[in-house]
Structure 1
Amino acid sequence: MSKHLYLVPPCDKLTLLTPAEEAMAVLTTFTRENAVSVNCCDTKTICIVASIRNLAQIEGAYGSDAALAVRHIVHERAREFSMRKSGIVTFSGGLIFFVMPRDDYSESDDVPHVLDDNSIVESVIAALGDEPVPTVTGMIRAAIDASIPPDVDEPFDLDEVGPHAAQMGGKTWRAGYMTDMQTANEVFDALERGELCFRYEKVCSACDIGIIGYYEALLCTTENGMPVSVGNKIPVLERLGLIGRLDKWVVASVIETLRACPDVSLGCNVSVQSATLDGWWATIIERLTREPQVARRLVVEITESALFTDMDALSDFIRVLRLLGCRVALDDVGAGHSCLKSLTELRVDMVKVDGSYLRHARATDRARARLRSLVQLARLCASHVVLEGIEREADVQISLACGAQWVQGYLFDPIFGSDLTHPVTNRDRGD
């Protein structure tokens, strides 16, 4: 990674979003002048529209000079990427337009264009956003969006491909955003150094804790040789719009572990922000289609710690994973932004009830009745219910009394890496 500081003259104006008419004119002129076609039926080229989703927040927190520096470096990365891939690129306001040849990416004539195209989109996102931008105010990470627009002759919604609206405030917000960015840098630096790992928690039968349904892979970092949870940093990455890169690493790592451990079932958390059928997931879906023995041992746990409104996209995501044989769980139900709508409308295999309900249920009969009601509702919406936060034997009895079939928590010793050898049978999985 370059250690230079990039300075942009402060007189350069920062335009965060170009009107749709102007952007479309730029794209049309761009393709005409370069004698290329981005028609959806053209098999030789592909058009990709990218943007810096958090550019407005960067300007609000760090100032216009820092935002200009970030935009400048991202644009330089776009030019370098385009040159490496024999493509062409132009810029308009907050948008970056690529036209790339498909031929450079196809390994054979048998590779479907849709998968090939998705890999190009993911390459764009990685090239523009994986590395932080060094500025005089510190390392800043750009949240990159990229997608393939429809036929250039047809209108497309720039709200879907351009920078999203920023939620900004005063000094407190700016200080918080800068602190969040520092935390994100720590997480991704640990990822680059190979310091991220997993602690595997058992999901056990409430009737017989010797029966293990699967292991949940919980993200940790290593400090002085000991694993330390990074769960409290996940909301930070969600606020910054950077959670996608981490989720992708987690899912890919868990799939590799499933390949290496054919007798084990594993679950992993995916932020609701990442639960959309984008280019990267298309690649994963293609892999899981080829390896059903891996897919049926994967549990994707969707966390709703961040606000999410596109229920249709989430439903499609869940439907496709289930068709592949994966199981899908709603995690931490009753906490964060989880809602009754998600519970009742999303067709998931499993509901995991947040441990806070169990903590309250230990204290009063009324709280126990609330827990029982939530578990019973969950059982109407999914085949299996897991009660989280199990810390003592009495908690297992509460779980049974409330109707939960599965339990998870500190009562059951977690395992690490090489100890992940427990054979998981159909009976264990709860099929």
Structure 2
Amino acid sequence: MNATAAMCITIDNLGDISTYFGEGVAGRVLAEVARRLERSLQVPFTIESWGVAASPFQLEDGLPVWSRVDEALCAAAALPIPVGNNRIVVSLSCRNTVPDAQGLHTASQNSAQDYRIDMSAAALAYEALFNARFTLVEQPVCSASEPASVLYSECVVRLSDEDGRVVMPGVYMPALERLGLTQVFDRRIAQSVVEELVRRPDVVLGCNMSALSASVDLWWRLVFPRLVREAGVGQRMVIEISESARPYSFEAVAEFVSHIQQAGCRVALDDFGTGFSSIGYARHTRFDVIKIDAGRIRTRGSDAPQLLGHLISLARHVANEVVVGSVESEADLLIAHAAGARWVQGFLFGHPQNLAPQLARQAQVASLDARRPAARAGGAR
């Protein structure tokens, strides 16, 4: 039997929900979070002004208390909470002490309309992801001199709405980052990439995640390292950290990178030179791969090739591999090669595509060929 544990579950965005949707909606969100947690953990929760709480309790199923609570939080936050015509995505965290209700985060938004639009986009993304309406598409990172040589393939999630229409990341990812709702979303994508690596033992795949998700919580500290080691995929997985949003803490990102590397995975920093990164930050964090977006550099005009060369030179001092992205034409490739790029990525080498159906058909054909009896010499024609 596990040790007893008292739980204070904070709805981190409850202040925002109350401000932009009203106290009535916030109250119904509180009640639904309590219901979901009670169903998962089989213990009663009381509703507080900041979230929900449970008295000290014990679990008898042999699983660690904190691991079970972490799973319950993720499950409770996975599907949006319907309240009237609204669908609310919650951010949940757990602590041992009662939080200060005055310290609840309030987002900086231009208007209630902006916040509601962002929440609608976030709800669309969460519903698609956790209802399995998504595919992973891949785009290779190729050698600049030998495009057939692939360092790894970057995985990008493609969501679909209820009508089957594709929802691109540009629709929902900025909203998730503005609302601070990336962590549960990115965790699910990481799980999917691990599952894909298990199915395909001959590939190396990259997994995108926001810098806002790059913190060492219980799942990343304990579950993820065990998952990749037991599945044997650590050496074939690259975690790509995007800096389209400023990290909560550069120190937290450095700690996260260290833990991921200890699990056997490589870590890439995306958009180097155009996001919130700096050469000192990259040097301190010790990324394995640094990616430079040539598309953004092209907007600099005539000095773009020189700037690209400088960025590649800087990146080589702090990472083992440097990738130049957004290579869309032969002219782009020539510039990247002249600037010293060893690895490149972009539409010139193919648009992101879902390779799973094609690979499944190939595996089926190979299986049939293996079972088919060898043709007899002189057999029927």
Superposed pair shares fold, TM > 0.5: yes
Contact 1:360 1:368 in 2 (8 A): no
AA partner of residue 12 (structure 2): R
AA partner of residue 70 (structure 1): V
Of the candidates 12, 15, 24, which is equivalent to residue 56 of structure 1?
15
1:268 aligns with 2:207: yes
Identity of aligned residues (%): 31
Cα distance between partner residues in 2 of 1:167 and 1:50 = 20
Are the structure 2 counterparts of residues 126 and 100 from structure 1 closer, same or farther at C-alpha, using a change threshold of 3 Å? farther
Could you say which residue in structure 2 is the equivalent of 1:398? 335
Partner of 2:157, secondary structure, is strand
AA partner of residue 295 (structure 1): G
Are the structure 2 counterparts of residues 401 and 48 from structure 1 closer, same or farther at C-alpha, using a change threshold of 3 Å? farther
After TM superposition, the structure 1 stretch with the greater mean CA deviation from structure 2, 371-380 or 235-244, is: 235-244
Could you say which residue in structure 1 is the equivalent of 2:367? none
Partner of 1:411, secondary structure, is helix
Cα distance between partner residues in 2 of 1:226 and 1:386 = 32
AA partner of residue 349 (structure 1): D
AA partner of residue 30 (structure 2): R
> Shift of the alpha carbon at 1:157?
9.1
Could you say which residue in structure 1 is the equivalent of 2:112? 174
Could you say which residue in structure 2 is the equivalent of 1:96? 52
The aligned runs of 1:30-179 (5 Å cut-off) are 43-82=2-41, 84=42, 87-98=43-54, 99-106=56-63, 116-147=64-95, 149=96, 158=99, 164-169=104-109, 172-179=110-117
Contact 2:289 2:322 in 1 (8 A): yes
Are the structure 2 counterparts of residues 219 and 141 from structure 1 closer, same or farther at C-alpha, using a change threshold of 3 Å? same
> Shift of the alpha carbon at 1:89?
3.5
Cα distance between partner residues in 1 of 2:66 and 2:2 = 14
Could you say which residue in structure 1 is the equivalent of 2:295? 356
AA partner of residue 320 (structure 1): H
Query: TM-score with structure 2 length normalisation?
Result: 0.85
Could you say which residue in structure 1 is the equivalent of 2:266? 327
Unaligned runs of 5+ in 2: 363-381
Are the structure 2 counterparts of residues 72 and 81 from structure 1 closer, same or farther at C-alpha, using a change threshold of 3 Å? same
Could you say which residue in structure 2 is the equivalent of 1:202? 140
Deviations 1:43-75 (A, max 9, x none): 522333311111111112112222222223223
Cα distance between partner residues in 2 of 1:285 and 1:309 = 23
The aligned runs of 1:343-422 (5 Å cut-off) are 343-360=282-299, 363-364=301-302, 366-413=303-350, 414-416=352-354, 417-419=356-358
Could you say which residue in structure 2 is the equivalent of 1:217? 155
Q: CA RMSD in A?
A: 2.7
Partner of 1:301, secondary structure, is strand
Query: TM-score with structure 1 length normalisation?
Result: 0.75
Are the structure 2 counterparts of residues 350 and 343 from structure 1 closer, same or farther at C-alpha, using a change threshold of 3 Å? same
Cα distance between partner residues in 2 of 1:388 and 1:100 = 51
> Shift of the alpha carbon at 1:391?
0.3
Cα distance between partner residues in 1 of 2:77 and 2:237 = 28
> Shift of the alpha carbon at 1:320?
1.6
Are the structure 2 counterparts of residues 207 and 232 from structure 1 closer, same or farther at C-alpha, using a change threshold of 3 Å? farther
Cα distance between partner residues in 2 of 1:383 and 1:164 = 41
Cα distance between partner residues in 2 of 1:157 and 1:318 = 30
Cα distance between partner residues in 1 of 2:62 and 2:274 = 43
Contact 2:34 2:45 in 1 (8 A): no
Partner of 1:368, secondary structure, is helix
Are the structure 2 counterparts of residues 158 and 311 from structure 1 closer, same or farther at C-alpha, using a change threshold of 3 Å? farther
Unaligned runs of 5+ in 1: 1-41, 107-115, 150-155, 423-431
> Shift of the alpha carbon at 1:227?
5.6
Of the candidates 240, 253, 260, which is equivalent to residue 301 of structure 1?
240
Could you say which residue in structure 1 is the equivalent of 2:218? 279
